[in-house]
Structure 1
């Protein structure tokens, strides 16, 4: 299997399970791993040093919202999205286009301000872009934008559609739904995205997760993934 592997929700309070997952991925010779960092949390000097260490080891940092929590629920779509998928994580859905742009700009600036480089990838929390088109973020410094259905190259306007396999099975209903999706997308003929959340390896689909990682033979980064991008 060809796959790009990411760990979502990298925050001060998730650094311990993220470290466990990186060890697990190293056991399966999966590298580099893309780490989706939430800047607006209470980062300590030690936490920032850990991010720098992971980056120095070859892992890739990416922007992932600001607080990773919506300040309000706006409208029926957001309410449905929260109930089915995102709970309270989809902070873009609580903002207008100007607010989204300000959040993304602030996210990118945080990395440079903390000696963490200039990440190429931005992923909205819960992959929920909100009321703005990908082109509306093209001038903010990120090269790639990942949504639920595709990865967008903001420089060229191209995109690549590919499935996401996830394992955040903290309820029986989520375990059933994610297990069914894994059964389908595990046979996908092209590359897939494997999206881990920090405690997935402790949850109901641990066995499925381990089997899927063992099947990865060709780990990709986002540059390699987008080399075969579809036309927008």
Structure 2
């Protein structure tokens, strides 16, 4: 089955680590998709980093897919004006799972209501347009976490690609495919070693479903994960490495 490779959290905040991930991909001939954050944690607005915006334009021109990856990539960031209409933000166990288990408080789109989600999509798209990016290849929520009503929002806006932990989607066409995602977590030693074991054990699932290799910049700060990623990328090129959209059609 085909595999897609992506680098998450692309931002001037992680410039050195993203460069290392790009070098690892280039060493095996892969052009990964790039998940761009317009204003990482509210402290790294892309508008204030024109040199990095120029690099993004260069990567897109070279054939890298570009995805909008939230706006702040942080729960609770930015203004949150309550709305009188539209879907509410997730609460209770759904929010706890997204913010404490799946992520370290970075599941941004599991922390906003529909009106705020729309504002952040508007603002994020505008930032990437001002950066000179010609098109967006999709939207991927931070921590792969968003409420079900987001699919209708993305469909309305014409998005052709999104994903979560278990599936890839074409919101506009209403298509969905099961897909296994291989990624590492390095927030704690326990998460690092358990995610490393998971990625090794989950590789055979590619015989049944399309796979995604998701590299996070923080991975590149750990020598053991850099070695694992090198091996995972070599494994990826054993079959077709494809665009994200091609996974939905696989």
TM-score over 0.5 for the pair: yes
Task: For 1:133 and 1:66, locate their aligned partners in 2 and report how far apart those are by CA, in whole Å.
Answer: 15
Q: CA deviation at 1:191?
A: 2.1
Number of corresponding residues: 227
Q: CA deviation at 1:57?
A: 1.6
Alignment of 1:1-232 (within 5 A): 2-31=2-31, 33-40=32-39, 41-43=44-46, 44-71=49-76, 74-130=91-147, 132-188=149-205, 189=207, 190-203=209-222, 204-217=224-237, 218-228=240-250
Q: CA deviation at 1:133?
A: 4.1
Runs of 4+ in 1 over 6 A off after TM superposition: none
TM-score by length of 2: 0.84
Farther-moved stretch of structure 1 (84-93 vs 168-177): 168-177
Q: CA deviation at 1:76?
A: 3.6
The two structures, once aligned, show a CA RMSD in angstroms of 1.9
Distance 1:148 1:47, change over 3 A: same
Task: For 2:98 and 2:166, locate their aligned partners in 1 and report how far apart those are by CA, in whole Å.
Answer: 15
Q: Secondary structure at the match of 1:206?
A: helix
TM-score by length of 1: 0.90
Task: For 2:109 and 2:246, locate their aligned partners in 1 and report how far apart those are by CA, in whole Å.
Answer: 28
Give the unaligned 5+ runs of structure 1: none
Alpha carbons 1:90, 1:126 under 8 Å: kept:
yes
Q: Secondary structure at the match of 1:178?
A: helix
Q: CA deviation at 1:131?
A: 5.5
1:17-49 alpha-carbon deviations (Å, 9 max, x no partner): 111111111101112x10000012322111111
Q: Secondary structure at the match of 1:205?
A: helix
Task: For 1:148 and 1:52, locate their aligned partners in 2 and report how far apart those are by CA, in whole Å.
Answer: 28
